Structure 1
């Protein structure tokens, strides 16, 4: 079977689908034949995906921090779209600040989306997947979960928690045919990345990311380029496919070598 139809007949839930990596994941999955429930709070983005993939992508608003809303949507999706074979946790936020200046509400909001959201979605879908004896869950984390970053303590900690949660879930459900993996991107050209750059300084900022910044103890990117969202989405598409049928509890770094796997 060609890659453009390798996910035909499968149904996927993607959070954070309205832009960036989540949007790219929807393109990757739908482009391989999967029916996709694209969720986000960014209504315009998911509506555009529904229009592009008419009949294949269904757009729905979802706040992943609301466990009741997550459970209701998953139940509805299973009733109307069919059993969910795939779930991809992409929804995430970044609140960059030195720890001394980090506000309680910023810390709480970061964990509410990046960690609690992963828990809510994964718990809901895994309950159903284990009953059927099959399924694949992928959490998009960050290489910041594995190496310290200045001004990113809340983000890094929330992503590290999401990685370990996904691995623990993977261990619990492996015997019932469900695989759980994480994809950990490095710097990727998304709105989140651009939000850390000063206006009008994009070219120089991108160069600093690639070259590294000794002042912030940050290594560069050995491959010499910042990732496109599609680079991350292709890794996700591989992990949810049968080509990865013997891979679970794995954390796949897609960062051009930036962390040196430290």
Structure 2
């Protein structure tokens, strides 16, 4: 029943506006960042100066669950189920999610910090010579050096942006990786076979589901190591 409640919250949201499906990617990203900081324990949701502010849908799902089965489903499990349902909503393949996680009691911002890359080639002001000329011109037209606009959005998948599929890998095969770290996956002969393999959509969907199941077991809190929060933004 809990999974059905979460799915309904997301389905209603995605149907509310043509642009709402864009939040599917945010929910998948939320699961990734949660699991890779303190483990899959919803610590990413705890309020603080730099708390995750894009998880209102998790709050809505939590409220709906508390209305029908209070104190049963953790915020950590809601994140996991929501990520899976977001993949499906974006036309990706479903995968099994095992529940039973407890919510963590701490959130350490420094564990999630990293050095942002410079927007040009190592800060030299020059365009990365490995980027095809036409693609570089396209990026420069969108983000000119003389002006700064933080509202500009450029999708990393130039093949099928709104669909959860293997289009990202096809973009790399066409030398249209937006970040050098992405394009290097194809340009490096050691990892190029993996990009070619994952450009096949059925293969990608199967492997992604397996990766999400494995990630969902990282740093899981159980029993006295965690709790089931009443409010996802604060400990009990």
Same fold (TM over 0.5): no
Larger C-alpha radius of gyration, 1 or 2?
2
Judging by fraction of residues, say which structure has more strand: 1
TM-score, L = length of structure 1 = 0.24
